[in-house]
Amino acid sequence: MRTPLTIRFLTSMPRKGWLALAIFALVAWVGVPMAHLMLPESSPFSVSAYTVTLMGKILCYAVVAVAMDLIWGYAGILSLGHGLFFALGGYGFGMYLMRQIGTDGSYGVNLPDFMVFLDWKELPWFWVGSDSFLWALVLVVAVPGALAFIFGYFAFRSRIKGVYFSIITQALTYAAMLLFFRNETGFGGNNGFTDFKRILGYDITSPEMRLTLFGLSAALLMFVLLLGRYLVTSKFGRVLAAIRDAESRVMFIGYQPLWYKLFIWTLSAVLCALAGALYVPQVGIINPSEMSAANSIEIAIWVAVGGRGTLVGPVIGAFIVNLAKSFFTVEFPEYWLFFLGFLFIGVTLFLPDGVVGLWRKLFARKPATETESPPPVQKPAAVPEKDEHLAAKGAAA
């Protein structure tokens, strides 16, 4: 009898993993709210509004890092354009937030302020329905997902890979950034969307809403980790690793890499978009700079620092890099980019497996479990045989 999907999904995570998620959930959903709402600001255990917002923002970045790890660490697809999907998710939800301002804007009319400033008389056609929360969620998922599917289909069907694929994704992101910088596109130009007031009628700056967004960001991260664990330990994950190591051999024994790569690529884009949708109301702004090439490269750095092909490594890398960024941009703003460059060079030279790889070498006594996918090696990963005929064909070759 076949095991139900929900059972396989839940049992894919080992006990230690569930324990870690339980502790994380307890801190995020109980500890932080109590420390923020119940303790006085003078208390050393109090969590300030700035800290809640900063941690919520980094949790969104961690989701993006795990999404990148699914395609880079497990499928060997290095994207330098994931900032585009993150920003598109932010813009999709930002349209809803701008409509919720209503007549509370600077001009007192039921149009976003930037449209009034540009002398627009009515909403563009693609803004229709943007005042609906449910429609905003559809936009957040559908637009980045459709773009990723169309782009990925033609790229993977043409068997574009390696550095060529990375350059094309970066070019796509740069083109989108230039498009969104133009005022006539209807997305606020270089200023983007800002000055948000409310979500579902609730004040967006209230402590309760701030904690709600933080809790949702934590929930999304836990779900993405569970989903990633399920995928990489399944037959799908084994085929994906084999495609990463020896795509031609996988094709020879009867698998079609196009659909495997396209699925994980599109899923990764949608996860980035969901993170972007949670990011925007927490930071209070979204503009085309989120699509810059530097931001997409930084996502790859998070994964490299933490350790690609490990799921938890990218989360650690996102926290390390962004906490360092918060410190350096305040204390030594002129040296931040130098630090980031040195960090990437140092990880490349001395920590090829990232922080998780270093931890495993120093402290782990057991061999790596199937939770972690090792970096590409010359020997291809084992591929589940489709049938006996194809297996014999592959053996004969």
Closest CA to 302 of 91, 83, 151, 144: 83
pLDDT category of residue 53 using cuts at 50, 70 and 90: very high
What pLDDT was estimated at residue 236?
93
Distances (CA, A) of 3 to 207, 238, 329, 383: 43, 19, 51, 22
How many CA atoms, within 13 angstroms, populate the side-chain half-sphere of residue 89? Answer: 24
pLDDT per residue as tens digits for the range 101-126 = 988 888 888 888 888 888 888 888 99
Distances (CA, A) of 9 to 16, 134, 233: 16, 27, 10
pLDDT category of residue 304 using cuts at 50, 70 and 90: very high
pLDDT category of residue 381 using cuts at 50, 70 and 90: low
pLDDT category of residue 379 using cuts at 50, 70 and 90: low
Question: Is pLDDT above 60 for 375?
Answer: no
Closest CA to 272 of 241, 243, 303: 303
331's tokens: 């204390």
What pLDDT was estimated at residue 119?
84
pLDDT per residue as tens digits for the range 60-92 = 999 999 999 999 999 999 999 999 999 999 999
Question: What is the dihedral sign for C-alpha 31, 215, 206, 87?
Answer: positive
pLDDT per residue as tens digits for the range 35-49 = 999 988 888 889 999
Q: Cβ(153)–Cβ(260) under 8 Å? A: no
Q: Cβ(138)–Cβ(146) under 8 Å? A: no
CA distance 311 to 13: 12
Q: Does pTM top 0.85 for this prediction?
A: yes
